[in-house]
Amino acid sequence: MNRLQKLLARLAELKDQAGALTDSAAEAGRDLTDTEAAKVDELLAEAEGMTPQIERERRLVALGETTASGGNRRSAPQPPATVPMQGDHISAPYQLQDVRNRWEWPTVQAFARAVRDAAGGRVDPRLINAPTTYGAEQSGADGGFAVPPDYRNTIMNLITGEGSWLSQVDAMPTDSNSITIPIDEDPQWGSSSGIRVYTRAEAGTYTASKPKIGQWKTDLTTIYAFVPMTDELLEDAPLLQNMLTVKAAEKIDFKINDLILNGLGGGNPLGILNSPALVSVAKESSQAAATIAQANILKMWSRCAAPQRASAVWLINQDCEPQIHALGQVVSSVSGTAVSGAPMFIPPGGMNAAPNGTLLGRPIVVSEACQTLGTKGDIMLAYLKGYGAAYKSSGLKSDVSMHLYFDTGHTAFRWSFRMGGQPWLSTPITRKNGSNTLSHFVSLDTRG
């Protein structure tokens, strides 16, 4: 093992030691003790102090490779536009500047093949230097290798992109396995408890009040994808890249959306549809099954809390679209005769450029997480920031093992993401003047 490999191995060891201390405290639901905090600071200081050494060793390696190839340039060439490769390795100039977060792997396929080959005893030094998921790096059926950060981040960026509901709800990173937040759900017009506002005449006595404090708590559950892949598939580079980055991200992203909407709670996120804060509007009398009427939409709109309507969206099942596109509001004369009409649905390119158009001026979001047409949950008006979601600040965890299915010629990949969540409201909002309750989330009852 050369000097650079020893330095990288020591850096990985320092990271694992510091991480073990913080993880232990987080799992126990406590802060670091003074002794633990001092030890973490000591480990981090040593790791940070190694950076100049590692950089010097990398430059020496690059210089050695340049001189060994017969080159006599005095300055390092600029990195080329494409990744220059020598087998499963990247040439030195590109490696130094662009692939540190890949642990020197040019592609995810090269990394996967090396993991497979390690089962046969051909262990690439880059795997040894990488932090592993098991104390013994090369032994034990539970052993495995962590996936380089760049390839993990590619998946993480996809599941927190603009199309993900996790990026649209009120998301909070945490180092703990659960999160508890004090909240005051008393509306601004509340008059029975909580903070009150009064008037007083000159020299009058002040009337005291106090907040109505409750607790919002959620536990984090593990959302994961576990994918064994055959040795033959590992040789199919384009398909492997698609499976490891795009498909895994798409599946995890949909699972998160589905839990936000349909989660059952009890150890899992509590979904909007199963929350006691949901307001559900009854169907019209004699309304036909599997239909959406103008009156349904107007009543749903009236039950969404007014301050949140400007940021609310319509969540719909795709089968709802033909009926929504045909919705209009008839304007009648005093005698009841229809004299004109106005569309309720505005197609894309009309009022705005929303991908699926707007309904009463608010964007429409089509999702397979919504229930089938005609059932509760097929169409909803939702203020997504009214849903609180907590997730592990460490983000997506990604591991690979060549041991688990060695006898069948498979390599197992696993991605896991810890998350919990539920609506901020525990009950619908009681009105000051009016009998109907309001909420951040409004659905339409089953039309059967």
pLDDT single digits (tens) 356-404: 889 998 999 999 999 999 999 999 999 999 999 999 988 888 777 765 5
Give domain status of residue 228, yes or no.
Answer: yes
Q: What does the buried/exposed string (b/e) look like for 298-307 if buried means 16 or more CB atoms within 10 Å of the residue's CB? A: ebbbebbbee
In a domain, 93, yes or no: no
Q: How far is CA 67 from CA 63, 64, 432, in A?
A: 6, 5, 81
Q: Which residues contact 189 (CB under 8 A, 6 or more apart)?
A: 431, 432
The distance from CA 149 to its chain's CA centroid, rounded to whole angstroms, is: 17
d(CA 241, CA 248): 10
443 in the same domain as 308: yes
Does residue 390 share a domain with residue 258? yes
Which of 13, 48, 74 is the last residue in one of the domains?
74
Q: Is 142 strand, coil or helix?
A: coil
197 burial via Cβ count (<10 Å: 0-12, 13-18, 19+): exposed
**Placement of tokens 């089938």 in the chain:** 372
pLDDT at 99: 47
Enclosing domain of residue 68: 1-74
How far are the Cα atoms of 47, 66, 83, 150, 328 from residue 106, in angstroms, in the given order?
25, 19, 7, 11, 56
User: What is the number of other CB atoms lying within 10 angstroms of the CB of residue 52?
Assistant: 9
Number of domains the chain is built from? 2
Can you give the pLDDT at residue 382? 98
Amino acid identity for residue 254 in this structure: F
Q: How far is CA 371 from the centre of its chain?
A: 22
292 and 413 together in one domain: yes
Same domain? 151 vs 39:
no
- Helix locations, 198-351, DSSP H: 231-234, 237-241, 248-262, 294-303, 306-309, 321-325
**Residue in 155, 147, 167, 157 with CA at minimum distance from that of residue 246:** 155
Query: Do 253 and 363 belong together in one domain?
Result: yes
Q: Does 430 map to a domain?
A: yes
Which ranges of the chain have pLDDT less than 50? 68-99, 128-143, 351
Task: Answer yes or no: is 172 within a domain.
Answer: yes
Asked if residues 381 and 296 have their Cβ atoms less than 8 Å apart, the reply is no
Q: What would the DSSP string read from start to end of 21-41?
A: HHHHHHHTT-PPPHHHHHHHH
Contact indicator for 158, 375 with CB cutoff of 8 Å: no
Could you tell me the two tokens for 5? 């490999």
pLDDT at 409: 65
Phi, psi of 113 (to 5 degrees): -65, -35
Of the three residues 74, 103, 136, the one that is the final residue of a domain is 74
Distance CA 272, CA 382 (A): 9
Statement to judge: residues 70 and 155 lie in one domain: no
DSSP 185: -
Where among 29, 58, 74 does a domain terminate?
74
The length of the chain is 448
pLDDT number for residue 329: 74
Residues 278 and 368 in one domain: yes
Residue 240 lies in a domain: yes
State whether 177 and 286 are in the same domain: yes
Whether residues 315 and 430 fall in one domain: yes
Assigned domain for 100 exists:
no
pLDDT value of residue 31? 84
pLDDT at 287: 95
Same domain, 16 and 154: no
C-alpha to C-alpha distances, 377 to 258, 272, 388, nearest whole angstrom: 12, 9, 19
- At a CB cut-off of 8 Å and minimum separation 6, what does 12 contact? 129, 130, 131
Can you read off the two tokens belonging to residue 377? Answer: 């949950």
d(CA 151, CA 108): 7
Q: Is residue 103 part of a domain?
A: no
Contact indicator for 359, 324 with CB cutoff of 8 Å: yes
In a domain, 94, yes or no: no
- For residue 273, give the CATH number of its domain: 3.30.2400.10
Q: In sequence order, which residues have a C-beta less than 8 Å from that of residue 6 and are 6 or more positions away?
A: none
Same domain, 67 and 159: no
pLDDT in the model for residue 12: 77
Statement to judge: residues 154 and 296 lie in one domain? yes
> Read out DSSP for 214-251?
EEEEEE-EEEEEEEEEEHHHHT-HHHHHIIIIIIHHHH
